[in-house]
Amino acid sequence: MIGTRIGNYEITSELAQGGMGAVYRGRHINLPREVVVKSILLSSFPPSAREHLKARFVREAYIQSQFDHPNIVRVYEFFTTDENYYLVMEFIDGMSLRDLGKRRGAIDAAHAVPLFKQALAALDYAHHFGFVDESGRQLKGIIHRDIKPANMMLDGKGRLKITDFGIVKLAGESTMTRTGFNPGTVDYMSPEQIRGLEIDARSDLYSLGVTFYEMLAGRLPFLPSETGSEYEVLKGHMELAPPPLSGIKAGIPEGLAAQVMRALAKRPEDRFQSAGEWLDAMLEGEARGFASTGAARQAMQPPTELFDKAATTPATTPMPQASNPTEVYVPAGVTMQAPTARSSPSRFAFIASGGVLLAAVTVAGIIFVPQSEEPMPQAATAPRAADPVTSAPPVMEEARENAALKAARDAEQEERYPAAIRLFEEYMRANPEAPDYPAVRNHVADLKKFNGLLAIAKTFMEKGDYVEARKDYAEALRLRPDSKLARDGLAAAEAALKPRS
């Protein structure tokens, strides 16, 4: 490919190579512009998937090209041929937060905070971004769904841009988006994303909290087992409290640690409700020195000294494995909270004093959020103690005449659990004062736990970890002995573990 021309761009070097595509460095043949060219090799995908892949590729390029901000990883052009698709993007000469963490380990708060103010500003922009899709529909709000250090790029001046090279899987990348699973990386996934439920902006904030935790502590909050199994990671995100930052690394300001732990709350309603709210809290905490004990204020400066320009290499972010190309639309009545006029003077001071609002986001697996006047939904309460959920609470039988509940119950009986959960929650949002609200809420909590076990078990089956899959299917079957999905899954896992004669 070196020396090949693609449109007005010449390929100058290869940055990464994989079985389903590659990433190249290139330059415009007439303009002084260096670019990254992402190539997707169509022959790597089954024929049945190619038309859908092409439609998704065109949509993503169309939407991402509308970002026009100095800190967005911009899309300049895209090309389609019979064998390959090419996306021409802005080139960033620097490194990712993942690479920075590998080089330096834990990063002092004084250096980490400026980076995360930029990340929060970028997400705040993205979550409220208005755009037009290729069919002309006016839409608003983009959720990243794969926030992690590898998707945060830094140039030589410490400026951060959120990106994602999407779709193509590169050789040697171990933390990939799971085929057939939600887009995202297990180490950074929110509990609701792991369970396969609909997500909103607060899921991105959870993933950013994991990323921030890792930068400050030098390790993830939940680690895989010694055998490399991800079961402990998944269980940690869904059920366990992260180890306190103060017990891992000394010197992290108390107020800053509290913000990170809030972002890692299991229930979305217990987190910051928007990136703008968290940014306001961070600016206020920074102004107060982040410490409630009267400790001296730390000087939070842009981390340009973290980088040795001579040591940096052209930045490339490995591209996650192809994920389910179905766009997910948040149901009517669900919207991202719009920025309010309450923004504090400190936030505007941050903008006016040269802290650039960085607005960059991935479009691989994005969620389009239609505009609405309804408030953000309340998530269900944390699951109760595990009791068998073999039938609905009696109050649901009494409310059978309610059409919304009947639709939810029908979906549950058909073992379409994500749909059932969504329908139950729609009923809860529409009937917050209903007498059966507590019973429905508890039932939803049980369904979420059960559905989460099925989702995790399926993930382990796909990666060949049949021992862990068997554990989760068995636990799911204990909760719902009548579930054919759990029963068949357990049988498949046990069959895979039997020695072949």
Report the C-alpha gap between 125 and 141 in whole angstroms: 9
Active site members: 146
For residue 127, the number of C-alpha atoms closer than 13 Å in the C-beta half-sphere is: 26
Tokens representing residue 47 in the block: 């024929």
Report the C-alpha gap between 322 and 335 in whole angstroms: 27
Report the C-alpha gap between 51 and 395 in whole angstroms: 47
**In three state form, how does the secondary structure of 327-380 look?**
CEECCCCCCCCCCCCCCCHHHHHHHHCCCCCCCCCCCCCCEECCCCCCCCCCCC
Report the C-alpha gap between 151 and 164 in whole angstroms: 5
The residue ranges of DSSP E strands in 91-141, in sequence order, are 94-96, 130-132, 138-140
Decide: 42 and 48 in contact? Cβ < 8 Å: no
Decide: 218 and 105 in contact? Cβ < 8 Å: yes
Tokens representing residue 69 in the block: 């901000």
Tokens representing residue 2 in the block: 């070196």
User: 223, 145, 144, 242: which is closest to 190 by C-alpha?
Assistant: 145
Decide: 221 and 161 in contact? Cβ < 8 Å: no
CA angle 250, 256, 258 (to 5 degrees): 95
Give all strands of the β-sheet with 94-96 in edge-to-edge order.
94-96, 152-155, 160-162
Q: How far is CA 360 from CA 25, 74, 161, 183, 272, in A?
A: 20, 8, 6, 18, 20
H or E segment at 77? strand 75-80
Torsion angles phi and psi, residue 34, rounded to 5: -95, 145
Q: How many CB atoms lie within 10 A of CB 83?
A: 10
Give all strands of the β-sheet with 367-368 in edge-to-edge order.
142-143, 367-368, 328-329
Report the C-alpha gap between 65 and 58 in whole angstroms: 11
